[in-house]
Amino acid sequence: MRHVQGILPWGAGTALVATIEEAVVRGQIQSMWTGIAGVTRGLLVSAGVFAAMHVPAYGLSAMPVDLAAGLTLAGLRALTGRVAPCAIAHVGADIGGWLWS
């Protein structure tokens, strides 16, 4: 488990990036595809985009985990109708991952 020293600057940057990711992926892409092709396709497309955009950072081997995270966040967006809970969950998961590593 990592020491919490240094988490504030890292956490602030991570919160900004995760919030922007959620605004784009869940707020724009998922909403657009849900409107075009229905809820299920909106969920699948946004989860796929989310997983694909994380390949450069984590590699193809992490794709199943990123796809599962994307589906979870997409489901949260579909259930709540809001992007904020997705951003909060995403930031929490990223911070938890940082502390765990």
Q: Is residue 72 part of a domain?
A: yes
Contact criterion met (CB below 8 Å) for 85 and 74: no
* Spatial contact of 55 and 63, defined as CB atoms under 8 Å apart: yes
Is residue 82 one of the residues assigned to a domain? yes
Per-residue model confidence (pLDDT) at position 96: 87
Q: Judge whether 41 and 57 are in contact, CB under 8 Å.
A: no
Specify the DSSP class assigned to residue 83. Answer: S
Per-residue pLDDT of the chain (101 residues; tens, 9 = 90+): 556 677 888 889 999 999 999 999 999 999 999 999 999 999 999 999 999 999 999 999 999 999 999 999 999 999 999 999 999 999 999 988 878 87
Q: Do the domain assignments include residue 60?
A: yes
Residue at 1 is within a domain: no
Q: Which amino acid does the sequence have at 51?
A: A
In a domain, 28, yes or no: yes
Is there a domain that residue 57 lies in? yes
Q: How far apart are CA 32 and CA 79, in angstroms?
A: 16
- Report the pLDDT value the prediction gives residue 54, as an integer from 0 to 100: 94
Instruction: Fill in the amino acid letter for 36.
Output: I
Q: What is the pLDDT of residue 8?
A: 84
3 within domain boundaries: no
Structural domain harbouring 45:
8-100
Is 2 within the bounds of a domain?
A: no
Euclidean distance between the first and the last CA atom of the chain, given in angstroms as a whole number: 6
Domain total of the chain? 1
